[in-house]
Amino acid sequence: MRVYLGSDHAGYELKMHLVNHLTKQGHDVVDVGPHVYDPEDDYPAFCLHTGAKVVADEGSLGVVIGGSGNGEQIAANKIEGVRAALVWRTEIAQLARQHNDANVISLGAREHTLDEATSFVDAFLATPFSGNPRHARRIAQVSDYEQTRKLPDLPSS
C-alpha cells in the first residue's frame, strides 16, 4: 500500500521512524517532508500536501504528525476528499477506518511513545472500511456538503 507521511518539527523523529518501519513492512512510503529537521517549520504545508497526495492517489492512505496532532488534522481536513482522524488509541485508529473510511490519521508525537504511535499506524493500515450502509450514508452526507456547501436538512423530531 502507498502511504504518504508529513509532519512538522515536533513530529519529525516519529515520521522518520515510521518511514523506516513501514518500508520494512513492504509499504510504498512517500515522505512528503520535512526532509531535514527545522525547529521553525510550520505544519500546514506538509499536512495539506500529504492530504492532497492521498486524495489524488486512490487507495493510498496518509499519516500527518505534529506535537499534539490537532492542527495537523485540521489542516489535512481542509483538502476536499480527506477524512482525517486524530488517533490516540489503537481502537480509535481501527474505528476511523471501519466507520469513517478515514484516509488520513493524525498523531501527536509528544503524546505517545514510538511503539504506541507505530501500533496506531499499523492498526490503521490493516483495518478496512466496514462498508456498512449507515456508515457509507454518513460519509456520503459529509462528501455532499463538501462539494455543494449546502447544509443537509435536519431530521424532524
Q: Which residues are catalytic?
A: 72, 99
**Which among 146, 52, 43, 61 is positioned nearest to 105, based on CA atoms?**
61
For residue 25, the cross-strand partners are none
The string over 100-129, giving b where at least 16 C-beta atoms fall within 10 Å of a residue's C-beta and e elsewhere, is bbbbbbbbbbeebeeeebbebbbbbbebeb
